[in-house]
Structure 1
Amino acid sequence: MTDVLLCVGNSMMGDDGAGPLLAEMCAARPQGQWRVFDGGSAPENEVVAIRELRPQRLLIVDATDMGLNPGEIRIVDPDDIAEMFMMTTHNMPLNYLVDQLKEDVGEVIFLGIQPDIVGFYYPMTPKIKEAVEVVYQRLAAWEGDGGFTPL
């Protein structure tokens, strides 16, 4: 069974770098059996490679404005992404990416981390670093929704 972790975000934009930070952590010390892709700000570039793997599960992690306190983590229904998030820092809205992958992936899980500051050349805030650490720690024994609350 193949599980894929797609980390999304721009590390040059403060808290939007949550996904790339998670990818770095996994590259340094892998957790579980996840095949990790750092999609950066152009996750659509990873579609072909992910499709070829035909994973049972795809976990997408991204800093996502959900109107919560900074650092809060929620599972977001992939079908709701287009309606909830009108603005994105990525080249292509994530709902298009999810739609492209649904036919080749058993389950798509979208995990959002509420950012505090998203702006060019801002450092990542401590609450977001802590949230990334929480996600990282749960990867090794991930089951179902990873223990995270749905939005």
Structure 2
Amino acid sequence: ETWRIRELDPDTVVFVDAVDLGAKPGDAAILEPDDLRAKGYDTHRAPLKLTMNYLAQELSCRCLLVAVQPMDVRQDAPMCAEVRRSARTLADVFAELI
């Protein structure tokens, strides 16, 4: 159900997740749904690309992924200091934008 998001009538929906970008830990990138694999293994039950495309169609909005490179890509791995710094910086940026 999308009613909670729909009530907000967003122009853009932003997801934030750890993604193996092949970069240094803490590096971040903004990705569009087409930047993500259509098929393949994912730690999520539904591939994020599918979710992003669904919301974009249902809500007539833009969906973006702010991807942060983790040090350890295993599920439930602890967050490293570099990722913590990036998360704080991203939170500050989002707070200013919203």
TM-score, structure 1 normalization: 0.56
Q: Secondary structure at the match of 1:140?
A: helix
1:108 alignment partner AA: C
Is 1:101 aligned to 2:55, yes or no? yes
Give the total of aligned pairs. Answer: 97
Cα 1:98–1:122 change in 2 (3 A) is closer
Selected match of 1:110 from 53, 58, 65: 65
2:42 alignment partner AA: T
1:87 alignment partner AA: Y
Runs of 4+ in 1 over 4 A off after TM superposition: none
1:99 alignment partner AA: N
| C-alpha distance after superposition, 1:9-55 (max 9, x if no partner) | xxxxxxxxxxxxxxxxxxxxxxxxxxxxxxxxxxxxx7443234331
Matches of 1:67 and 1:53, distance apart in 2: 35
Selected match of 1:135 from 79, 90, 98: 90
Corresponding residue of 1:80: 35
Corresponding residue of 2:5: 50
Residue ranges of structure 2 left out of the alignment (5+ in a row): none
Q: CA RMSD in A?
A: 2.3
Counterpart contact for 1:51–1:101, Cα < 8 Å:
no
Percent identity over paired residues: 29
Corresponding residue of 1:27: none
Residue ranges of structure 1 left out of the alignment (5+ in a row): 1-45, 144-151
Selected match of 1:123 from 71, 75, 78: 78
Corresponding residue of 1:64: 19
Greater RCO (CA < 8 Å, at least 6 residues apart): 2
Counterpart contact for 1:60–1:110, Cα < 8 Å:
yes
TM-score, structure 2 normalization: 0.82
Q: What's the offset of the Cα at 1:140?
A: 2.1
Cα 1:93–1:126 change in 2 (3 A) is same
